[in-house]
Amino acid sequence: MKTSNSRPSRVARNPFVHQLEFTLTEKIKIGLMSVTVFPVRLLLVSFFMLLAWPFTFTASLGRSEFVIEPQSWWRRVIDLCIRVIMRTMWFCGGFHWVTVKGERAPPSQVPILTVAPHSSYFDAIPVTNIMCSIVAKLESRSIPVWGTLISYIRPVFVFRSDQDSRRKTVEEIKRRAQSGGKWPQIMIFSEGTCTNRSGLILFKAGAFIPGLPVQPVILRYPNKLDTVTWTWKGPGAFKILWLTLCQPHNSMEIEYLPVYTPSDEEKINPSLFANNVRKLMAEALGVPLTNLCFDDREIILSRGPLRMYDYSSLLEFNQLMCRLGKVRAGVTAEELEELARRARKLQGGRLTVEDFTLFLNLPVSDTVKQVHGVFDQLRFVLSLPLLQHEDGQIDVRRYVTALSTIHRPSRSMETVKLAFKMYENEDSGEILEEELAVILEIMLGVKEVDLSGLFLTLGKPDTGRITYDEFYLYVQQNPHTLDWINFRDHPRQFCIQPRYTSCNGQKHKDE
């Protein structure tokens, strides 16, 4: 696969990972707070959350989920009580004051507030401050106590078990947004997932599809020690709660930026609308834009002995596949097997763009041409550099290998097994050394893989062939991939030498 120069070879900082490191002084402080302040704070937070429950339950009685009615005087009183209780709860949790900058536009002017970055469940603070609606999964309504609080703010529920969930959610957002301010404002966290605030990932289009003005809202946690970030890899939910309640004070800033009114072009192109708002918010935050999205997280967080070393080219490929409608959840193992079977029949035959579109059963488009161009290169033998002959033809087996990699990034051996089926000799079940090198180059996102050390260890340096069972057994016995694969820019490339040499530069005695 060719790697585009439009993106660095690595993402500067993985937005889905958060690691905490403490100094000795900080550890001592946390230890003291854990036995003194933490239990008191936890008790008070729990008390006020429970105290809010009867108020929210009473205010929700007899209220329609689909029609907005004028709020009676007693519901307005209860709403004020709930806000006071929730603010007291956050105060007891260490958020003694929350700095608010700018002015929030009224619902009649701006029905949607788009919020970023989304990095913690403490992002609920601005929601409880103004009691606006949010987009929430239906299952959250069943959470004891907290589920009643969520239901009270009249969220847009997402039915994940419904195949038309996305369409229905967008329709409900549009319906409320076009009500002229009758419904509460909808606060949408446009990133769609939690990150570590190192950059803004791609926004989902839901807040921008109605084509109405939105007000960007940015969140900051200017704390010396970041204990609030809760993302895909890092401290768990309870550890975040414990560490945050152990801090003497937790700072938070909420800034309402000027209302953004879309142009005519943005109204018909929600992606453009979303990206322009994202640029504005990133500039206000002083953070870079990251061309990653929610669906990229599993690729970046791939696990296993053959986990990706450099995922930049595979992320670009994944984005191209999303534009083709081949989202990760939409491709099954059976479909991958069928593609592999068809690719095997071609016996390595090289396909033009027209042939490739027939293989995919798709019309010719710019995106298909871009996907084809990713694999438009020819690799001759292992000992030669990677040569790019943009001859307009590709080996479709590489496409299937890459597709399998992005759809099951943490099940790499399944992709290897699929690739062996496409390349192996029918009689012996073996594939060539250079073919395995190409497979690993694609899966690991690296260049110029040299497997001479692997074949030397297996005692077959002269055959240049290997079966899946032999490779599988070797991987199980040597789970640290970088120890036995040599490639360009390897972290220990000066210790791992070419074929038949040892680390001190002397030739192997078997030669």
The answer to whether residue 141 is domain-embedded is yes
Answer yes or no: do 412 and 465 share one domain: yes
Low-confidence ranges of the chain (pLDDT < 50): 3-11, 378-390, 494-511
Amino acid at 319: Q
Q: Which of 256, 271, 296 is the last residue of a domain?
A: 296
Q: What is the pLDDT of residue 505?
A: 38
Considering the domain boundaries, does residue 16 fall inside one? no
Same domain, 289 and 395: no
Evaluate whether residue 488 is within a structural domain: no
| Residue 494: per-residue pLDDT | 43
For residue 139, the one-letter residue type is: E
Report the alpha-carbon distance of residue 415 to residue 293 in Å, rounded: 23
Domain that holds residue 136: 24-296
Tell whether 315 and 280 lie within a shared domain.
no
Q: Given CA atoms 443, 445, 447, 450 in this order, what sign does their dihedral have?
A: negative
Residue 137 within any structural domain of the chain: yes
Residue 431 in any domain: the answer is yes
Cis before residue 262, ω within 30 degrees of 0?
no
Assigned domain for 244 exists: yes
Do 87 and 189 lie in one domain? The reply is: yes
Judge if 263 and 323 occupy the same domain: no
Q: Which of 275, 296, 317 is the last residue of a domain?
A: 296
> Is residue 90 assigned to a domain?
yes
| Whole-number pLDDT of residue 391 | 58
Q: Report, in this order, helix, strand and coil percent for the chain, each rounded to 5.
A: 45, 10, 45
**Contact at 8 Å (CB) between 292 and 300?**
yes
For residue 128, the one-letter residue type is: T
In a domain, 504, yes or no: no
How confident is the model at residue 506, as a pLDDT? Answer: 41
Question: 418, exposed or middle or buried, with CB in 10 Å at 0-12, 13-18, 19+?
Answer: buried
Question: Are 416 and 454 in a shared domain?
Answer: yes
Same domain, 222 and 197: yes
pLDDT for the residue numbered 492: 53
Q: 134 near 186, Cβ under 8 Å?
A: yes
3-state secondary structure 303-337: CCCCCCCCCHHHHHHHHHHHHCCCCHHHCCHHHHH
Question: Please, how many CA atoms are within 13 Å of residue 180, restricted to the half-sphere of its CB?
Answer: 0
Among residues 268, 296, 324, the one where a domain terminates is: 296
Do 308 and 281 sit in the same domain of this protein? no
- Is 165 found in the same domain as 48? yes
Same structural domain for residues 368 and 410?
A: yes
Residues 335 and 283 in one domain: no
Q: In the chain, how many domains are there?
A: 2
Question: What is residue 489's predicted lDDT score, i.e. its pLDDT?
Answer: 64
Q: What is the per-residue DSSP string for 165-203?
A: HHHHHHHHHHHHHTTSS-SPPEEEETT-S---SSSB-PP
- Give the model's pLDDT for residue 12: 55
- Judge if 207 and 66 occupy the same domain: yes
**How far is Cα 63 from Cα 338, in angstroms, rounded to an integer?**
52
